[in-house]
């Protein structure tokens, strides 16, 4: 398949970024940033919210004219929208040639070859692909960080969430496969890996648990840092906390979605914990790791959410003092129980609550970032700053972005940076 060109657009989470790199590796095509030059166009989609669906379909619409002028170009839809809508995509957009779900990526080369030979459209959205992790991702030369998928799918079945419907039941990757991919990445110059999964800390095998994985991976020579996302609160174990505290390579940051501060709403979401239980988990983490940074996800306007429920969420934000939060209005997803719940919160109310929550959290985040001024932070230098070519950019163990002036040769190294300014989304400093 060499000599062919591939254009990929990626929407959504880290798992989709990882899957796009797997698509690139599976096809072994030359990557192009111009769809007009491509032999194959893949739009890797996200379905977590309605707005993400709309983005995907809008993106695909841009290629209708290209297909009319170049009938030989293959246009494919991958990811969660592909899994969710299947053949409906081709009914709506007949110029699409391929619809492929996240678990079917190993079948992609065969499907492309078949389309080229028989000119027939292909839809592959089954969950019965045995070698889910068979295709490892392409890694861009010079990048010092990388994602490693340790899990596919989810068994939690939260009432609002589309993930189990589009990524299937939880499948945990074998330990040796994870270690092998991590070692290969380190040999290519990677200094930091982020283990990713829908509920990453629920990973387990017959013999090992997530805390064991952190300890064993840390033994890989040349690997400087380990991160992981996204964690499920109920799966935060003593073993995991101990590994985070005791293993120096494991970064002191956890993304721990709470979703709501109201017990009534949490129960309707089927989150399996209460606000009190969540706060106790946060306290256990902070007792063991006093400097840990905690980020979260929050949904406002869930069906039936009252002003009192929303107030409970605001009180939780005040009590926990998250380092950052990703917050969204409830978005009904096809096939999920919450999509059929009555007492929908009107959009104006949901928008007001979201604005209030985000303004409150922004103040907390800014205060926390400004509190770092004067401190010396260990920063893994990832590359040049996106906003200033004379600055380098990297992250602290607590997942704070730091920009500072420095030479190119520091990329891939951990350096000490004294923080001089704190902003909403980043820090600025100077080499110390």
Domain ranges of the chain: 5-124, 145-370, 376-431
- The answer to whether the beta carbons of residues 97 and 11 sit under 8 Å apart is no
DSSP 4-34: -EEEEEE-SSHHHHHHHHHHHHHHTPEE-S-
Percent of the chain with pLDDT over 70: 98
Mean of the per-residue pLDDT values of the chain: 95
Pick from 3-12, 121-130, 145-154, 382-391: least confident:
121-130
Pairing verdict, β 414-422 and 427-431: antiparallel
Contacts of range 345-354, beta carbons closer than 8 Å, 24 or more positions apart: 345/301, 345/302, 345/303, 345/304, 345/305, 347/301, 349/301, 350/300, 350/301, 353/300, 353/301, 353/305, 353/310, 354/300, 354/301, 354/327, 354/328, 354/329
Report in angstroms the alpha-carbon separations of 391 from 69, 405, 429. Answer: 44, 4, 10
Partners of 147 in the β-ladder: 194
Q: pTM, whole model, 2 decimals?
A: 0.94
Does the domain formed by 376-431 have CATH 3.40.50.620? Answer: no
CB-based burial of residue 418 (10 Å sphere; 0-12 exposed, 13-18 middle, 19+ buried)?
middle
pLDDT category at 130 given cuts 50, 70, 90 is low
Per-residue pLDDT of 218-277, as tens digits, reads 999 999 999 999 999 999 999 999 999 999 999 999 999 999 999 999 999 999 999 999
pLDDT band at 134 (very low <50, low <70, confident <90, very high): confident
CA distance 313 to 272: 17
pLDDT at 1 exceeding the cut of 60: no
**Per-residue pLDDT at 131:** 67
186-213 pLDDT tens trace: 999 999 999 999 999 999 999 999 999 9
Backbone angles phi, psi at 149, to 5 degrees: -75, 125
Superfamily of domain 145-370: tm_1862 like domain (3.80.30.20)
- Per-residue confidence (pLDDT) for residue 56, from 0 to 100: 87
Alpha-carbon distance of 101 to 124, in angstroms, equals: 6
Matching residue, tokens 């940074």: 293
Residue 422 has a pLDDT of: 98
Q: Return the pLDDT at 52.
A: 86
| Fold of the domain built from segment(s) 5-124 | Rossmann fold (3.40.50)
Percent of the chain beyond pLDDT 90? 89
How high is the pLDDT of residue 315? 99
Q: Backbone phi, then psi, for 255, in 5-degree steps?
A: -95, 115
């Amino acid at each position: 398949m060499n000599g062919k060109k591939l254009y990929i657009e990626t929407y959504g989470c880290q798992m989709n970024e990882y899957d796009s790199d797997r698509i690139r590796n599976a096809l072994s095509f030359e990557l192009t940033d111009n769809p007009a030059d491509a032999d194959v166009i893949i739009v890797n989609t996200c379905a977590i919210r309605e707005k993400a669906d709309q983005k995907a379909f809008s993106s695909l619409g841009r290629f209708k004219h290209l297909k009319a002028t170049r009938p030989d170009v293959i246009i494919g839809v991958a990811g969660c929208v592909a899994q969710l809508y299947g053949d409906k995509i081709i009914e709506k957009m007949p110029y699409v040639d391929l619809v492929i779900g996240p678990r079917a990526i190993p079948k992609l080369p065969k499907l492309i070859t078949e389309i080229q030979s028989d000119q027939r459209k292909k839809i592959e959205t089954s969950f019965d692909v045995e070698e889910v992790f068979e295709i490892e991702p392409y890694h861009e030369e010079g990048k010092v960080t990388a994602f490693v998928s340790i899990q596919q799918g989810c068994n939690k079945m939260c009432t609002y969430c589309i993930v189990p419907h589009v990524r299937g039941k939880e499948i945990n990757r074998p330990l040796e496969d994870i270690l092998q991919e991590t070692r290969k990445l380190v040999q290519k110059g990677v200094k930091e890996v982020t283990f990713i999964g829908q509920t990453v800390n629920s990973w387990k095998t017959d013999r090992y648990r997530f805390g064991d994985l952190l300890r064993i991976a840390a033994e890989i020579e040349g690997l400087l840092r380990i991160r992981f996302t996204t964690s499920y609160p109920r799966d935060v174990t003593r073993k995991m906390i101990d590994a985070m505290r005791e293993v120096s390579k494991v970064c002191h940051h956890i993304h721990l979605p709470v979703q709501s501060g109201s017990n009534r709403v949490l129960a309707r979401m089927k989150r399996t914990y209460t606000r009190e239980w969540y706060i106790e988990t946060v306290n256990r983490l902070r007792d063991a790791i006093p400097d840990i940074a905690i980020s979260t996800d929050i949904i406002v306007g869930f069906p039936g959410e009252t002003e009192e429920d929303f107030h409970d969420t605001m009180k939780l934000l005040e009590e926990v003092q998250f380092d950052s939060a990703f917050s969204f209005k409830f978005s009904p997803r096809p096939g999920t129980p919450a999509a059929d719940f009555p007492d929908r919160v009107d959009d104006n109310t949901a928008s007001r609550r979201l604005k209030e929550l985000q303004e409150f959290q922004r103040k907390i985040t800014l205060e926390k970032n400004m509190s770092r001024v004067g401190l010396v932070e260990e920063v893994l230098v990832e590359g040049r700053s996106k906003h200033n070519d004379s600055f380098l950019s990297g992250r602290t163990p607590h997942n704070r972005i730091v920009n500072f002036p420095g030479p190119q040769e520091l990329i891939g190294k951990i350096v000490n940076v004294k923080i001089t300014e704190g902003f909403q989304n980043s820090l600025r400093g100077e080499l110390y």
